[in-house]
Chains A and B, each alone.
Chain A
Amino acid sequence: MKQLLITLVAIVAALPLSAQKGLRINEVFEGNIVHELALQESLVKGESLAPFKLKVLHTVKFTTGDSQRDKVEALFEEDMKGRLSDDDENLELEYRDGHLYYAIVQIADIKKGLHRYICYQSRTNMAEHTITLVYMEGKASLADLRKTFKKK
Protein backbone atom coordinates (compact mmCIF):
# COMPACT_ATOMS: atom_id res chain seq x y z
CA MET A 1 0.00 0.00 0.00
CA LYS A 2 2.79 2.38 0.97
CA GLN A 3 4.68 1.61 -2.24
CA LEU A 4 1.55 2.17 -4.31
CA LEU A 5 0.98 5.55 -2.67
CA ILE A 6 4.59 6.63 -3.24
CA THR A 7 4.41 5.61 -6.90
CA LEU A 8 1.15 7.46 -7.46
CA VAL A 9 2.41 10.57 -5.72
CA ALA A 10 5.53 10.51 -7.90
CA ILE A 11 3.45 10.17 -11.06
CA VAL A 12 1.13 13.02 -10.10
CA ALA A 13 4.07 15.21 -9.11
CA ALA A 14 5.74 14.56 -12.44
CA LEU A 15 2.71 15.51 -14.51
CA PRO A 16 3.21 19.28 -14.35
CA LEU A 17 6.57 18.85 -16.04
CA SER A 18 6.33 19.86 -19.64
CA ALA A 19 6.64 17.26 -22.35
CA GLN A 20 9.40 19.47 -23.73
CA LYS A 21 11.53 18.76 -20.66
CA GLY A 22 12.93 15.55 -22.04
CA LEU A 23 14.49 17.29 -25.03
CA ARG A 24 18.09 18.47 -25.29
CA ILE A 25 17.06 21.78 -26.90
CA ASN A 26 15.33 22.66 -23.67
CA GLU A 27 18.77 23.90 -22.61
CA VAL A 28 18.36 26.65 -25.18
CA PHE A 29 14.81 27.51 -24.13
CA GLU A 30 15.99 27.78 -20.52
CA GLY A 31 18.74 30.23 -21.45
CA ASN A 32 21.59 27.86 -20.60
CA ILE A 33 23.31 28.13 -23.98
CA VAL A 34 22.55 31.70 -24.97
CA HIS A 35 21.92 34.22 -22.23
CA GLU A 36 18.22 34.75 -21.70
CA LEU A 37 18.61 38.51 -22.18
CA ALA A 38 19.53 37.79 -25.80
CA LEU A 39 16.45 35.62 -26.36
CA GLN A 40 13.16 36.60 -27.87
CA GLU A 41 10.80 33.99 -26.58
CA SER A 42 7.11 33.28 -26.84
CA LEU A 43 5.14 30.60 -25.08
CA VAL A 44 1.50 30.01 -25.91
CA LYS A 45 -0.63 27.18 -24.55
CA GLY A 46 -4.25 26.16 -24.84
CA GLU A 47 -7.30 27.76 -26.38
CA SER A 48 -5.53 30.43 -28.44
CA LEU A 49 -3.90 27.73 -30.50
CA ALA A 50 -7.07 25.76 -31.18
CA PRO A 51 -7.43 27.15 -34.76
CA PHE A 52 -4.04 25.63 -35.56
CA LYS A 53 -4.87 22.30 -33.88
CA LEU A 54 -2.03 22.94 -31.48
CA LYS A 55 -1.82 22.89 -27.71
CA VAL A 56 1.66 24.21 -27.08
CA LEU A 57 3.78 26.58 -29.13
CA HIS A 58 7.14 27.59 -27.73
CA THR A 59 9.51 29.67 -29.85
CA VAL A 60 12.83 31.26 -29.22
CA LYS A 61 14.92 33.47 -31.51
CA PHE A 62 18.40 34.85 -30.98
CA THR A 63 21.49 36.01 -32.80
CA THR A 64 24.80 34.40 -31.93
CA GLY A 65 28.27 33.41 -33.12
CA ASP A 66 29.71 30.19 -34.54
CA SER A 67 30.45 28.51 -31.23
CA GLN A 68 26.97 28.78 -29.77
CA ARG A 69 25.37 28.02 -33.15
CA ASP A 70 27.33 24.78 -33.20
CA LYS A 71 26.17 23.89 -29.66
CA VAL A 72 22.52 24.56 -30.49
CA GLU A 73 22.83 22.62 -33.73
CA ALA A 74 24.37 19.66 -31.88
CA LEU A 75 21.56 19.65 -29.31
CA PHE A 76 18.95 19.78 -32.05
CA GLU A 77 20.60 16.92 -33.91
CA GLU A 78 20.55 14.88 -30.70
CA ASP A 79 16.80 15.42 -30.42
CA MET A 80 16.38 14.56 -34.09
CA LYS A 81 17.38 11.01 -33.23
CA GLY A 82 13.94 10.67 -31.67
CA ARG A 83 12.23 11.48 -34.97
CA LEU A 84 9.22 9.49 -36.01
CA SER A 85 10.61 8.62 -39.44
CA ASP A 86 12.58 9.96 -42.40
CA ASP A 87 9.44 10.23 -44.52
CA ASP A 88 8.43 13.57 -46.00
CA GLU A 89 5.27 13.34 -43.93
CA ASN A 90 7.33 13.61 -40.76
CA LEU A 91 10.49 15.43 -41.73
CA GLU A 92 11.85 18.44 -43.64
CA LEU A 93 15.58 18.92 -43.50
CA GLU A 94 18.23 20.95 -45.26
CA TYR A 95 21.94 21.44 -44.66
CA ARG A 96 24.02 24.23 -46.18
CA ASP A 97 27.79 24.56 -45.97
CA GLY A 98 27.95 21.65 -43.59
CA HIS A 99 25.50 23.16 -41.11
CA LEU A 100 21.86 22.69 -40.44
CA TYR A 101 19.95 25.34 -42.37
CA TYR A 102 16.44 24.43 -41.44
CA ALA A 103 14.57 21.45 -40.08
CA ILE A 104 11.03 20.51 -39.22
CA VAL A 105 11.01 17.21 -37.36
CA GLN A 106 8.14 15.24 -35.96
CA ILE A 107 9.39 13.41 -32.90
CA ALA A 108 7.79 10.46 -31.22
CA ASP A 109 4.49 11.16 -29.50
CA ILE A 110 4.46 10.81 -25.76
CA LYS A 111 0.70 10.63 -25.72
CA LYS A 112 -1.38 8.95 -28.39
CA GLY A 113 -2.77 11.45 -30.88
CA LEU A 114 -0.72 14.33 -29.51
CA HIS A 115 2.02 14.99 -32.07
CA ARG A 116 5.24 16.77 -31.19
CA TYR A 117 7.47 18.81 -33.48
CA ILE A 118 10.80 20.55 -33.17
CA CYS A 119 11.89 23.12 -35.71
CA TYR A 120 15.17 24.84 -36.41
CA GLN A 121 16.23 27.63 -38.70
CA SER A 122 19.57 29.37 -39.01
CA ARG A 123 20.14 32.52 -41.09
CA THR A 124 23.71 33.69 -41.50
CA ASN A 125 24.56 37.31 -42.03
CA MET A 126 28.26 38.12 -41.97
CA ALA A 127 29.63 36.22 -38.96
CA GLU A 128 26.35 36.14 -37.06
CA HIS A 129 23.69 33.53 -37.08
CA THR A 130 20.06 34.26 -36.33
CA ILE A 131 18.56 31.06 -35.02
CA THR A 132 14.92 30.23 -34.51
CA LEU A 133 13.92 27.20 -32.48
CA VAL A 134 10.37 25.97 -32.11
CA TYR A 135 8.74 23.28 -30.02
CA MET A 136 5.08 22.53 -30.58
CA GLU A 137 2.58 19.84 -29.79
CA GLY A 138 -0.97 19.18 -30.78
CA LYS A 139 -3.21 17.16 -33.03
CA ALA A 140 -2.05 18.90 -36.21
CA SER A 141 -0.22 16.79 -38.75
CA LEU A 142 2.80 18.17 -40.57
CA ALA A 143 0.58 18.56 -43.66
CA ASP A 144 -1.85 20.67 -41.60
CA LEU A 145 0.98 22.87 -40.35
CA ARG A 146 2.43 23.34 -43.84
CA LYS A 147 -0.99 24.38 -45.09
CA THR A 148 -1.42 26.85 -42.25
CA PHE A 149 1.98 28.46 -42.00
CA LYS A 150 3.66 28.14 -45.37
CA LYS A 151 3.71 31.42 -47.24
CA LYS A 152 2.23 31.16 -50.72
Chain B
Amino acid sequence: MNKVIPENIRLLLDRYLDGESTQEELRQLGEYLSHADRLPADLMPYAQMFALLDETQPTPSVQALDRLAADRPSPNLSLAGRGSRRLYLLLAAACIAAFAFILLAPLRLEEESMAVAYVDGKKLDDKQMAMQMGQEALQEIFSNGNQEEQLSNIFNGL
Protein backbone atom coordinates (compact mmCIF):
# COMPACT_ATOMS: atom_id res chain seq x y z
CA MET B 1 0.00 0.00 0.00
CA ASN B 2 1.25 3.48 -0.80
CA LYS B 3 2.15 5.77 2.08
CA VAL B 4 -0.40 8.53 2.64
CA ILE B 5 1.41 11.60 1.43
CA PRO B 6 0.03 14.51 -0.66
CA GLU B 7 1.31 12.85 -3.86
CA ASN B 8 -0.51 9.62 -3.08
CA ILE B 9 -3.62 11.46 -1.96
CA ARG B 10 -4.12 12.76 -5.47
CA LEU B 11 -4.01 9.22 -6.77
CA LEU B 12 -6.49 8.17 -4.12
CA LEU B 13 -8.73 11.08 -5.02
CA ASP B 14 -8.60 10.06 -8.69
CA ARG B 15 -9.64 6.56 -7.71
CA TYR B 16 -12.37 8.02 -5.49
CA LEU B 17 -13.71 10.17 -8.31
CA ASP B 18 -13.67 7.16 -10.61
CA GLY B 19 -15.66 5.20 -8.00
CA GLU B 20 -12.89 2.68 -7.51
CA SER B 21 -11.94 3.39 -3.89
CA THR B 22 -11.87 0.65 -1.32
CA GLN B 23 -13.17 1.18 2.22
CA GLU B 24 -9.59 1.38 3.43
CA GLU B 25 -8.67 4.03 0.83
CA LEU B 26 -11.74 6.04 1.76
CA ARG B 27 -10.77 5.86 5.41
CA GLN B 28 -7.24 7.06 4.56
CA LEU B 29 -8.60 9.88 2.43
CA GLY B 30 -11.01 11.02 5.13
CA GLU B 31 -8.38 10.84 7.81
CA TYR B 32 -5.78 12.70 5.80
CA LEU B 33 -8.09 15.43 4.60
CA SER B 34 -9.53 16.06 8.05
CA HIS B 35 -6.29 15.92 10.03
CA ALA B 36 -3.60 17.33 7.78
CA ASP B 37 -2.31 20.58 9.27
CA ARG B 38 -1.54 22.14 5.99
CA LEU B 39 -3.30 21.11 2.87
CA PRO B 40 -2.31 22.17 -0.63
CA ALA B 41 -4.79 24.69 -1.98
CA ASP B 42 -6.04 22.34 -4.68
CA LEU B 43 -7.02 19.74 -2.01
CA MET B 44 -8.99 22.18 0.17
CA PRO B 45 -12.31 21.74 -1.72
CA TYR B 46 -11.96 17.96 -1.26
CA ALA B 47 -11.33 18.41 2.46
CA GLN B 48 -14.51 20.49 2.72
CA MET B 49 -16.46 17.96 0.71
CA PHE B 50 -15.30 15.09 2.94
CA ALA B 51 -16.11 17.11 6.07
CA LEU B 52 -19.59 17.75 4.75
CA LEU B 53 -20.12 14.09 3.88
CA ASP B 54 -18.93 13.05 7.32
CA GLU B 55 -21.47 15.37 8.97
CA THR B 56 -24.52 14.55 6.86
CA GLN B 57 -24.07 10.96 5.79
CA PRO B 58 -21.78 9.02 8.03
CA THR B 59 -20.63 5.95 6.23
CA PRO B 60 -21.91 2.86 8.05
CA SER B 61 -19.27 0.44 9.17
CA VAL B 62 -18.96 -3.00 7.64
CA GLN B 63 -20.08 -4.55 10.95
CA ALA B 64 -23.15 -2.33 11.04
CA LEU B 65 -24.02 -3.33 7.50
CA ASP B 66 -23.59 -6.99 8.43
CA ARG B 67 -25.86 -6.59 11.46
CA LEU B 68 -28.47 -4.86 9.30
CA ALA B 69 -28.33 -7.65 6.75
CA ALA B 70 -28.70 -10.28 9.47
CA ASP B 71 -31.71 -8.54 11.06
CA ARG B 72 -33.69 -8.07 7.88
CA PRO B 73 -35.09 -11.01 5.95
CA SER B 74 -33.72 -11.25 2.47
CA PRO B 75 -36.15 -9.57 0.07
CA ASN B 76 -35.57 -12.34 -2.43
CA LEU B 77 -36.31 -15.02 0.13
CA SER B 78 -39.47 -13.23 1.27
CA LEU B 79 -40.76 -12.95 -2.27
CA ALA B 80 -39.97 -16.59 -2.88
CA GLY B 81 -41.80 -17.55 0.30
CA ARG B 82 -44.82 -15.54 -0.66
CA GLY B 83 -44.77 -17.01 -4.14
CA SER B 84 -44.58 -20.57 -2.92
CA ARG B 85 -47.39 -19.96 -0.42
CA ARG B 86 -49.58 -18.64 -3.19
CA LEU B 87 -48.64 -21.66 -5.29
CA TYR B 88 -49.65 -24.01 -2.45
CA LEU B 89 -52.99 -22.23 -2.12
CA LEU B 90 -53.63 -22.52 -5.84
CA LEU B 91 -52.66 -26.19 -5.81
CA ALA B 92 -54.93 -26.86 -2.84
CA ALA B 93 -57.84 -25.06 -4.51
CA ALA B 94 -57.27 -27.00 -7.73
CA CYS B 95 -57.15 -30.31 -5.84
CA ILE B 96 -60.38 -29.52 -3.98
CA ALA B 97 -62.15 -28.46 -7.18
CA ALA B 98 -61.04 -31.63 -8.97
CA PHE B 99 -61.99 -33.78 -6.00
CA ALA B 100 -65.44 -32.18 -5.73
CA PHE B 101 -66.03 -32.50 -9.47
CA ILE B 102 -65.06 -36.18 -9.52
CA LEU B 103 -67.22 -36.98 -6.50
CA LEU B 104 -70.23 -34.85 -7.25
CA ALA B 105 -70.58 -35.05 -11.02
CA PRO B 106 -71.52 -38.76 -11.13
CA LEU B 107 -73.72 -38.28 -8.09
CA ARG B 108 -75.65 -35.51 -9.81
CA LEU B 109 -76.09 -37.60 -12.94
CA GLU B 110 -77.23 -40.52 -10.83
CA GLU B 111 -79.73 -38.32 -9.01
CA GLU B 112 -81.16 -37.03 -12.23
CA SER B 113 -81.96 -40.44 -13.55
CA MET B 114 -82.59 -42.54 -10.46
CA ALA B 115 -85.84 -44.49 -10.22
CA VAL B 116 -85.80 -47.89 -8.62
CA ALA B 117 -88.33 -50.13 -6.93
CA TYR B 118 -87.79 -53.00 -4.55
CA VAL B 119 -90.48 -55.66 -4.38
CA ASP B 120 -90.02 -58.83 -2.31
CA GLY B 121 -86.36 -57.97 -1.92
CA LYS B 122 -85.78 -57.76 -5.67
CA LYS B 123 -84.48 -54.58 -7.21
CA LEU B 124 -86.43 -53.52 -10.28
CA ASP B 125 -84.91 -50.83 -12.47
CA ASP B 126 -88.36 -49.98 -13.68
CA LYS B 127 -88.85 -46.26 -13.71
CA GLN B 128 -92.58 -46.46 -14.38
CA MET B 129 -93.19 -48.90 -11.58
CA ALA B 130 -91.13 -46.82 -9.14
CA MET B 131 -93.07 -43.70 -10.09
CA GLN B 132 -96.39 -45.50 -9.82
CA MET B 133 -95.58 -46.90 -6.38
CA GLY B 134 -94.47 -43.47 -5.19
CA GLN B 135 -97.54 -41.69 -6.52
CA GLU B 136 -99.93 -44.28 -5.11
CA ALA B 137 -98.35 -43.98 -1.68
CA LEU B 138 -98.74 -40.21 -1.76
CA GLN B 139 -102.31 -40.37 -3.03
CA GLU B 140 -103.24 -42.74 -0.21
CA ILE B 141 -101.70 -40.54 2.43
CA PHE B 142 -102.94 -37.21 1.10
CA SER B 143 -106.46 -38.56 0.72
CA ASN B 144 -106.69 -39.20 4.43
CA GLY B 145 -107.88 -35.67 4.99
CA ASN B 146 -110.78 -36.29 2.60
CA GLN B 147 -113.87 -36.95 4.76
CA GLU B 148 -115.63 -39.17 2.23
CA GLU B 149 -112.48 -41.22 1.72
CA GLN B 150 -112.07 -41.62 5.45
CA LEU B 151 -115.65 -42.79 5.90
CA SER B 152 -115.27 -45.20 3.01
CA ASN B 153 -112.11 -46.61 4.56
CA ILE B 154 -113.76 -46.95 7.97
CA PHE B 155 -116.75 -48.80 6.54
CA ASN B 156 -114.55 -51.02 4.38
CA GLY B 157 -112.46 -51.81 7.43
CA LEU B 158 -115.53 -52.79 9.39
Q: A44 and B146 in contact (CB under 8 A), knowing A37-B120, A61-B137, A104-B141?
A: no
A residues near B153, Cβ cutoff 8 Å: 123
B residues near A43, Cβ cutoff 8 Å: 114-117, 130
Instruction: Choose among A4, A124, A151 the residue that contacts B139 (Cβ–Cβ < 8 A).
Output: A151
Name the interface residues of B107-145: CB closer than 8 Å to any CB of A.
Answer: 107, 110-121, 127, 129-131, 133-135, 137-145
Q: How many residues of A contact B (CB 8 A)?
A: 45
A residues near B103, Cβ cutoff 8 Å: 12-13, 15-16
Instruction: Choose among A55, A120, A149 the residue that contacts B135 (Cβ–Cβ < 8 A).
Output: A149
In the assembled complex, B155 has its CB within 8 A of some CB on chain A: no
A residues near B118, Cβ cutoff 8 Å: 36, 39-42
A residues near B130, Cβ cutoff 8 Å: 42-44
A42 B116 Cβ-Cβ under 8 A = yes
Q: A132 and B143 in contact (CB under 8 A), knowing A43-B116, A44-B130, A151-B149?
A: no
B residues near A124, Cβ cutoff 8 Å: 157
A123 B157 Cβ-Cβ under 8 A = yes
The digit string for A26-68, where 1 denotes a CB below 8 A from any CB of B, is 0000000000110111111111100000010101010000000
B residues near A107, Cβ cutoff 8 Å: none
Bound CA span A5–B149, Å = 56
CB closest residue in chain A, given B104: A15
CB closest residue in chain A, given B123: A41
Q: Smallest Cβ distance from A2 to chain B, in angstroms?
A: 10
B residues near A57, Cβ cutoff 8 Å: 134, 138
Q: A41 and B117 in contact (CB under 8 A), knowing A134-B137, A145-B142, A151-B146?
A: yes
A residues near B51, Cβ cutoff 8 Å: none
Which chain A residues have a beta carbon within 8 Å of chain B's beta carbons? 1, 4-5, 8-9, 12-13, 15-16, 36-37, 39-48, 55, 57, 59, 61, 92, 94, 101-102, 104, 119-121, 123-125, 132, 134, 136, 145-146, 148-151
Query: Mind listing 20 A-B residue pairs with CB under 8 Å?
Result: A1-B89, A1-B92, A12-B96, A12-B100, A15-B104, A16-B107, A40-B119, A41-B117, A42-B115, A44-B115, A46-B114, A48-B131, A92-B145, A102-B141, A119-B141, A120-B141, A123-B157, A132-B137, A145-B138, A149-B135
Which chain B residues have a beta carbon within 8 Å of chain A's beta carbons? 88-89, 92, 95-96, 99-100, 103-104, 107, 110-121, 127, 129-131, 133-135, 137-146, 149, 153, 157
